[in-house]
């Protein structure tokens, strides 16, 4: 992979972490510092400035580094005093720090001030900060990959500081040595747990009377292990990889025997996301102003563009209000997501303005209404939030799908049995993307002037405006004649 491609991939992943970590900052917390202080990222960024404005980039980087380190030291002092109050012992010894959690050790790392930190030190600090923030948000799947990087950076620091002479140097080595110990134990424990859980639950679902709940639990365990393998966090031997492929295929075949809700499509994708649990997740209902520029949800969004989804009435229904409520996840019953059809996988398809200078939200809104052209059609307005994990259709095809097909041939063949809703459509693609953790695919330039299409498979990634628009007149191109229906959770 070229440096430019590697930077793009790391930048996209980091953006998703930043929006998650910075979404609701607590008192005395600075914004995530990984982008500016972690050498694995800023060295890639530095390469991009190598032949152009490098001196300016280095000056700005140096200023940011000093500013962030100063804020760390200042913000950590009060908590540091609390953590060390009435605690005796030698602060130059590992023993002193072993009873502290990784979250508490972050305070020790940030409080320490030597008038400027080394790259090795800041690599530990930023990986530790990122790990703690992601785990606070309840994201252990993503946390494991960050934990691995934290362990590597802690090991690298300890290995490069064999005999520090100053008191502060000895204290820093003692703190980071304990971080290295704790992360090594956690990595081993979690790696074994991912493998053991999948094996145990596979054995438990072999009898014919197994419950749907147990099958779903087994699928989630196999999904978790596949996620870590596909993202390069766990390496398996060829035999282990083949076994995981075959076992996941077997569990998925049991998932495909399950029933769907009467308001869902009876297809493989629906059963897949029902079992995974994504179709039951709630969207975030928000006010209209929250999606406007500098609104609460706008600030959290990795895309910062309004997205539009329209639904026509179907069957004997005079309007699509009930379907709109199901989309938003506010119904009391039959509330799991309906996975719509589309060119690059099943899910919620939305229109949003693209990056062309002449593109507007109005163009995206009008394009969406094309799919809701009947009287009683509804339109929902939404925005991706900090839980979105997005990749472009092209990048997934080029860089990810080949990895999936190579490592998990049996699972790939099974998913590709999903019936195509139209010639040339790849309805299985959102399932493959989900195994990497992606809940949103972007299709740029779809042949529609000024509009990009997105498909999302997890409502958790969406902040939805709490009013549905309802069309009054068929073939109305102005869309002025709309009613509004308030969205709220049914009791």
- Residue 38 CB: number of other CB atoms within 10 A? 23
Beta strands in 173-306 (DSSP E): 284-286
According to the model, what pLDDT value does residue 24 have?
85
* pLDDT (0 to 100) of residue 50: 66
344-387 pLDDT, tens digit per residue, is 999 999 999 999 889 999 999 999 999 998 999 999 999 999 99
**What are the structure tokens assigned to 282, written together?**
């709630």
User: Where does the pLDDT of residue 446 fall: very low under 50, low under 70, confident under 90, or very high at 90 and above?
Assistant: low
Contact status, residue 276 vs residue 220, Cβ threshold 8 Å:
yes
Task: Specify the 3-state DSSP secondary structure of 373.
Answer: coil
Q: With contact defined as beta carbons under 8 Å apart, do 332 and 322 qualify?
A: no
**Mean pLDDT score of the chain:** 93
Indicate if the pLDDT at residue 479 is higher than 70: no
- 487 vs 165, 195, 308, 321, CA distance in Å? 64, 42, 16, 10
Those residues with Cβ within 8 angstroms of residue 270's Cβ, 6 or more apart along the chain or in another chain: 260, 264, 279, 338, 339, 346
pLDDT at 193: 98
- Residues in Cβ contact with 184 at an 8 Å cutoff, skipping those fewer than 6 apart: 151
Q: In degrees to the nearest 10, what's the CA dihedral of 116, 118, 121, 123?
A: 110
Pairing, β 348-353 against β 378-384: unpaired
139 contacts: CB under 8 Å, gap ≥ 6 = 20
Higher local confidence (pLDDT), 335 or 45: 335
Listing DSSP states for 48-62 in one string gives HTTTSSHHHHHHHHH
- Strand boundaries in 348-389, DSSP class E: 348-353, 378-384
Question: pLDDT of 218-270, one tens digit each?
Answer: 999 999 999 999 999 999 999 999 999 999 999 999 999 999 999 999 999 99
If pLDDT is split at 50, 70 and 90, which confidence band does 445 have?
low
Band of pLDDT at residue 447, cut at 50, 70 and 90: low
In this predicted structure, what is the pLDDT of residue 1? 58
Instruction: Give Cα 342 distance to the centre of its chain.
Output: 22
Sign of CA dihedral 447, 444, 271, 376: negative
What are 86-133's pLDDT values in tens digits?
A: 999 999 999 999 999 999 999 999 999 988 999 999 999 999 999 999
pLDDT greater than 80 at residue 51: no
Query: How does residue 414 score in pLDDT terms, banded at 50, 70 and 90?
Result: very high
Render pLDDT for 208-221 as a digit per residue (tens, 0 to 9). 889 999 999 999 99
- pTM greater than 0.75 (yes/no): yes
Could you count the other beta carbons within 10 Å of the beta carbon of residue 361? 16
Listed residue (46, 17, 50, 54) closest to 32, CA to CA: 17
Question: Hey, how many other C-beta atoms are within 10 angstroms of the C-beta on 403?
Answer: 14
Q: Are 233 and 148 in contact (CB under 8 A)?
A: yes
| Percentage of the chain lying above the pLDDT 70 cut | 96
């Amino acid at each position: 992979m070229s440096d430019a491609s590697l930077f793009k991939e790391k930048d996209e992943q980091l953006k998703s972490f930043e929006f998650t970590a910075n979404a609701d900052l607590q008192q005395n917390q600075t914004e995530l510092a990984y982008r500016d202080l972690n050498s694995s990222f800023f060295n890639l960024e530095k390469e991009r400035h190598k032949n152009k404005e490098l001196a300016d980039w280095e000056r700005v980087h140096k200023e940011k580094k000093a500013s962030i380190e100063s804020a760390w030291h200042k913000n950590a002092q009060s908590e540091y005093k609390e953590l060390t109050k009435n605690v005796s012992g030698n602060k130059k010894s590992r023993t002193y720090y072993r009873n502290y959690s990784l979250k508490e050790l972050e305070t020790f790392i940030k409080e320490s001030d030597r008038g400027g930190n080394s790259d090795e030190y800041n690599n530990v600090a930023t990986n530790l900060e990122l790990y703690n923030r992601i785990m606070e948000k309840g994201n252990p799947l993503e946390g494991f990959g960050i934990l691995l990087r934290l362990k590597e950076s802690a090991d690298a620091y300890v290995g490069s500081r064999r005999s520090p002479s100053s008191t502060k140097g000895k204290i820093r080595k003692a703190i980071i040595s304990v971080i290295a110990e704790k992360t090594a134990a956690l990595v081993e424990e979690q790696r074994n747990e991912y493998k053991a859980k999948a094996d145990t639950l596979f054995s438990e679902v072999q009898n014919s009377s197994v419950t749907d709940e147990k099958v779903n639990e087994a699928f989630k365990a196999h999904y978790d292990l596949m996620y870590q393998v596909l993202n390069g966090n766990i390496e398996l031997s060829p035999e282990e990889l083949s076994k995981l492929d075959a076992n996941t295929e077997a569990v998925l075949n049991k998932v495909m025997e399950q029933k769907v809700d009467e308001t869902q499509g009876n297809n493989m994708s629906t059963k897949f996301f029902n079992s995974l649990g994504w179709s039951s997740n709630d969207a975030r209902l928000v006010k209209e102003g929250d999606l406007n520029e500098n609104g609460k949800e706008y600030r959290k969004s990795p895309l910062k563009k309004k997205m539009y989804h329209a639904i026509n009435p179907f069957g004997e229904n005079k309007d699509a209000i009930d379907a709109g409520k199901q989309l938003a996840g506010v119904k009391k019953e039959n509330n799991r997501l309906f996975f719509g059809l589309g060119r690059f996988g099943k899910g919620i398809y939305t229109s949003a303005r693209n990056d062309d200078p002449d593109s507007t939200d109005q163009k995206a809104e009008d394009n969406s209404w094309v799919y809701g052209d009947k009287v009683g059609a509804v339109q929902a307005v939404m925005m991706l939030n900090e839980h979105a994990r997005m990749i472009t259709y092209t990048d997934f095809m080029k860089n990810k799908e080949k990895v999936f097909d190579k490592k998990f041939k049996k699972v790939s063949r099974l998913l590709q049995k999903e019936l195509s809703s139209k010639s040339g459509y790849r309805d299985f693609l959102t399932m493959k993307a989900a195994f990497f953790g992606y809940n949103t695919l972007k299709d740029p330039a779809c042949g529609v002037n000024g509009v990009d299409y997105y498909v999302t498979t997890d409502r958790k990634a969406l902040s939805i405006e709490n009013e549905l628009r309802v069309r009054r007149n068929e073939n109305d191109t102005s869309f002025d004649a709309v009613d509004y229906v308030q969205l709220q959770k049914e009791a």
